[in-house]
């Protein structure tokens, strides 16, 4: 398998609020539109022969700082999305896996997350990692504490395996025009190819994703070494 096969794609889905405001709508309308794109992109990746994991930044540890009403809406939207998408997961053989610190969520939302994870656990196609109350620094600290508690020596390998998601990211895409990682998959993206696009997330298409993947496959990835 060549080193530039996009086995693990990660996406920072940015621009929902700005998309809605540009249309004179409330920010929450952008989040609803963005949820539709999540379905399309996830389905596309489930049908792609090379993509094994898709990790989506849905809610960060910093997102709690947003207005209370917007946070409450996002929680309801997430619960509604998961219930609605269970059919999509099953039909496309997709395994749903939440990553992040789930302890901050309400019991009803946690129950929905647990049900969808349980029902899809035997699906052996694409793994969709949904980053929920996720921050890379928080993830690394939790992983280190787990190893310390179990008296496991901390090495690159043991720490990697203790993370919420251990598979290295090959291709990381951020929509919305900003050029930063925003505390996302810092360990896993150590050698990821980064693509920053101006497209706001609700306008992102599978065609644009396909174009990025095609561009990615032409990149010579050396992982710090030299080509022969």
Catalytic residues: 14, 63
- Give me 200's structure tokens: 């706001």
Q: Provide the CB-side half-sphere exposure for 128 (13 A, CA).
A: 31
Q: Provide the CB-side half-sphere exposure for 20 (13 A, CA).
A: 13
Q: Is 51 exposed, middle or buried (0-12, 13-18, 19+ CB in 10 A)?
A: buried
Compute the distance between CA of residue 46 and CA of residue 38 in angstroms, rounded to an integer: 12
DSSP string, 78-89: HHHHHHHHHHHH
Give the chain's radius of gyration (CA, Å): 18
């Amino acid at each position: 398998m060549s080193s530039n096969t996009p086995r693990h794609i990660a996406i920072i889905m940015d621009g929902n609020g700005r998309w809605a405001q540009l249309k004179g709508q409330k920010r929450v309308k952008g989040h609803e539109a963005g949820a539709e794109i999540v379905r399309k992109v996830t389905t596309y990746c489930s049908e792609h022969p090379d993509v094994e994991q898709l990790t989506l930044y849905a809610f960060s540890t910093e997102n709690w700082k947003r207005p209370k009403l917007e946070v409450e809406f996002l929680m309801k939207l997430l619960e509604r999305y998961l219930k609605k998408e269970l059919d999509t997961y099953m039909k496309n053989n997709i395994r749903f896996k939440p990553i992040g610190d789930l302890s901050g969520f309400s019991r009803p939302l946690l129950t929905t997350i647990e049900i969808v994870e349980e029902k899809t656990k035997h699906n052996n196609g694409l793994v969709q990692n949904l980053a929920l109350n996720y921050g890379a620094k928080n993830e690394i600290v939790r992983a280190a504490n787990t190893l310390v508690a179990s008296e496991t020596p901390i090495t690159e390998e043991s720490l990697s395996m203790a993370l919420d998601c251990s598979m290295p990211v090959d291709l990381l895409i951020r929509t919305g025009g900003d050029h930063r990682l925003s505390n996302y998959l810092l360990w896993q993206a150590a050698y990821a190819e980064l693509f920053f696009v101006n497209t706001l997330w609700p306008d992102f298409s599978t065609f644009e994703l396909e174009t990025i993947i095609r561009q990615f496959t032409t990149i010579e990835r050396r992982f710090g070494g030299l080509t022969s």
